[in-house]
């Protein structure tokens, strides 16, 4: 029945001078995620985008559009001629269809940006509402808490009638020039941090520390799979796999047990900063939230943060674990994150890590660590792979 999808921008419609750039990158993204649907046509205006379905089922397209940052609201709509009779008729068909889903109350809201159209909004409200009421049973008007709001928007090229609205992903469309390096462990938190960073219009690359044979191919696979889920939201992502075995072994052998974790994280931070520098990323994102486990106390954060002067973004900083888990389920990273493989943080986990490490102690111990050599070795061994949003391995088989 529906022949159009209306995409509303929300926040970006407010951004004065940059609006054009935002809308262009949004349109690019919308075209990209809907490229498999060959028949549809996407057009844009200053406050919204309209997708003409040409017979295509809207459901799978909506699923894709819900991954696009910068989209505020999505509605499926029927387009009517600029003719009150046609509008009434199509409104009726739409409401009858809604009745099969058990809708009992409705209200009509008419907007008429096209002032050439000879009927005033208020009159049309009454006309359309009355027509629907006269021609249906068991349906009443409730202007305060309707089961469905029937919205009619009279534009220059026709009237769009809709009553099925859903939330978009929100946020801002991706700006390819704003790049941030995400430290991606494979746990529940870091993919969520990556998602929230991307949501603010930022392009991410990911860095993962891999310590074979202590961490397996599967833990690396897990990170690739997580990256691929993130790529559904922001497009292809470059993933940097850092060989970390030697650094971990050296720390394990040379550093005091209770500081090994703090120093390991300082090393990770140093290496990440170097990779960020090379790739042009301007900040580092981590999945830390405050006070959760040993490494995430404010003392730890202070000590670890000392080694970089890049901005460290911590989108989860104030969140409770349950909230993080909820987002992780929503964005489909949860099931991957809970796959039970060792990662580099758990393999050498000391029995009693220091929960309140101090900068001066860390610095003192690190005098005995060949920091530059280890960083150099790790950075030069980085393997960078591009994780495509549409995976194509095994394509011949499936």
Partner 1 sequence: MIYLDNSATTQPYDEVIAAFKKTAFDYFANPSSLHRKGGEVERLVRQARRSIASLLGVEEEEVIFTSGGTESNNLAIKGTAFEHMKRGKHLITSQTEHASSMESFRQLEKMGFDVTYLPVDGEGQVSKDDLVEALTKDTILVSLLHVNNEVGSIQPINELGSIIKEKSRALFHVDDVQGVGKVASDVHSVADLVSYSAHKFHGLKGSGLLVKRKNVSLFPLLSGGGQENEFRSGTENVPGIVSTAKALRLYMQKSQSNVKKLNDLKIKYIEKLEEIKEVVMNTPTKSAPHIINFSVPGIKPEVLIHALEEKDIYVSTRSACSSRTAEPSHVLTALGVSNSRASAAIRVSLSYETTEQELDVFLLELTKAIHKLKEVMR
Q: Which residues bind partner 1 (CB under 8 A)?
A: 59-60, 102, 216-218, 221, 335, 391, 393-394, 396-398
**CA dist., res. 380 & res. 370, Å (int):** 16
In the complex, the smallest distance separating the C-beta of residue 390 from partner 1, rounded to whole angstroms, is: 11
79 or 222: CB nearest partner 1: 222
In the complex, the smallest distance separating the C-beta of residue 339 from partner 1, rounded to whole angstroms, is: 10
End-to-end CA distance of the chain: 32
160 or 233: CB nearest partner 1: 233
157 or 335: CB nearest partner 1: 335
Q: Which of 172, 160, 156 is nearest to 70 (CA)?
A: 172
Strand blocks (E) in the chain: 4-8, 41-44, 48-52, 73-80, 105-111, 140-141, 148-155, 158-167, 172-183, 200-210, 237-243, 283-285, 312-313, 383-387
In the complex, the smallest distance separating the C-beta of residue 109 from partner 1, rounded to whole angstroms, is: 28
209 or 334: CB nearest partner 1: 334
Two structure tokens written together for 107 = 């209200």
Find residue 154's DSSP bridge partners: 159
360 or 396: CB nearest partner 1: 396
Give residue 391's Cα distance to chain centre: 18
Dihedral of alpha carbons 62, 227, 206, 393, sign: negative
Q: How far is residue 349 from each of residues 71, 86, 284, 353, measured CA to CA in Å?
A: 42, 69, 24, 8
Strand blocks (E) in 184-236: 200-210
In the complex, the smallest distance separating the C-beta of residue 21 from partner 1, rounded to whole angstroms, is: 33
In the complex, the smallest distance separating the C-beta of residue 394 from partner 1, rounded to whole angstroms, is: 5
3 or 377: CB nearest partner 1: 3
Find residue 383's DSSP bridge partners: 241
Long-range CB pairs of 263-267 (<8 Å, 24+ gap) are 263/362, 263/365, 263/366, 263/369, 264/345, 264/348, 265/295, 265/300, 265/304, 266/303, 266/304, 266/306, 266/307, 266/362, 266/366, 267/371, 267/374, 267/375, 267/378
In the complex, the smallest distance separating the C-beta of residue 340 from partner 1, rounded to whole angstroms, is: 11
In the complex, the smallest distance separating the C-beta of residue 175 from partner 1, rounded to whole angstroms, is: 29
46 or 394: CB nearest partner 1: 394
Which letter, b or e, does each residue of 165-182 get, where b requires 16 or more Cβ atoms within 10 Å of its Cβ? eeebbebbbbeeebbbbb
Two structure tokens written together for 310 = 């890049």
218 or 359: CB nearest partner 1: 218
In the complex, the smallest distance separating the C-beta of residue 94 from partner 1, rounded to whole angstroms, is: 18
In the complex, the smallest distance separating the C-beta of residue 102 from partner 1, rounded to whole angstroms, is: 8
225 or 273: CB nearest partner 1: 225
């Amino acid at each position: 029945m529906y022949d159009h999808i209306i995409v509303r921008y929300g926040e970006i419609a407010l951004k004065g001078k940059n609006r054009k750039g935002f809308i262009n990158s949004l349109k690019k993204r919308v075209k990209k995620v809907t490229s498999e649907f060959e028949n549809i046509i996407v057009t844009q205006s200053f406050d919204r985008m309209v997708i003409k379905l040409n017979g295509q089922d809207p459901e799978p397209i909506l699923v894709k559009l819900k991954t696009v940052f910068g989209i505020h609201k999505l509605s499926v709509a029927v387009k009517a001629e600029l003719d009150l009779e046609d509008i009434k008729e199509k409104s009726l068909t739409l409401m009858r269809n809604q009745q099969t889903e058990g809708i009992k109350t409705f209200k009509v809201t008419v907007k008429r940006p096209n002032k050439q159209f000879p009927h005033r909004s208020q009159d049309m409200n009454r006309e359309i509402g009355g027509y629907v009421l006269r021609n249906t049973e068991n349906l009443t008007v409730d202007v305060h808490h309707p089961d469905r709001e029937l919205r009619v928007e009279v534009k220059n090229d026709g009237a769009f009638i809709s009553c099925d609205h859903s939330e978009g992903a929100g946020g801002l469309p991706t700006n390819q020039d704003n790049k941030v390096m995400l430290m991606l462990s494979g746990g529940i938190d870091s993919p969520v941090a990556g998602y929230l960073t991307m949501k603010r219009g930022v392009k991410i690359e990911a860095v993962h520390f891999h310590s074979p044979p202590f961490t397996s191919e599967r833990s690396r696979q897990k990170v690739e799979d997580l990256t691929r889920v993130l790529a559904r939201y922001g497009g292809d992502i470059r993933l940097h796999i850092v060989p970390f075995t030697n650094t971990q072994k050296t720390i394990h052998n040379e550093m005091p047990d209770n500081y090994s974790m703090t120093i390991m994280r300082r090393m990770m931070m140093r290496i990440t900063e170097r990779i960020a520098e090379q790739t042009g990323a301007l900040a580092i994102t981590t999945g830390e939230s405050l006070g959760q486990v040993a490494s995430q106390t404010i003392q730890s954060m202070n000590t670890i943060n000392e080694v970089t002067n890049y901005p460290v973004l911590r989108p989860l900083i104030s969140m409770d674990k349950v909230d993080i888990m909820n987002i992780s389920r929503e964005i489909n990273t949860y099931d991957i994150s809970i796959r039970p493989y060792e990662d580099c943080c758990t393999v050498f986990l000391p029995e009693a890590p220091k929960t309140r490490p101090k900068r001066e102690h860390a610095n003192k111990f690190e005098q005995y660590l060949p920091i530059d050599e280890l960083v150099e070795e790790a950075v030069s061994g980085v393997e960078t792979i591009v994780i495509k949003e549409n995976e194509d391995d095994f394509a011949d088989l499936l």
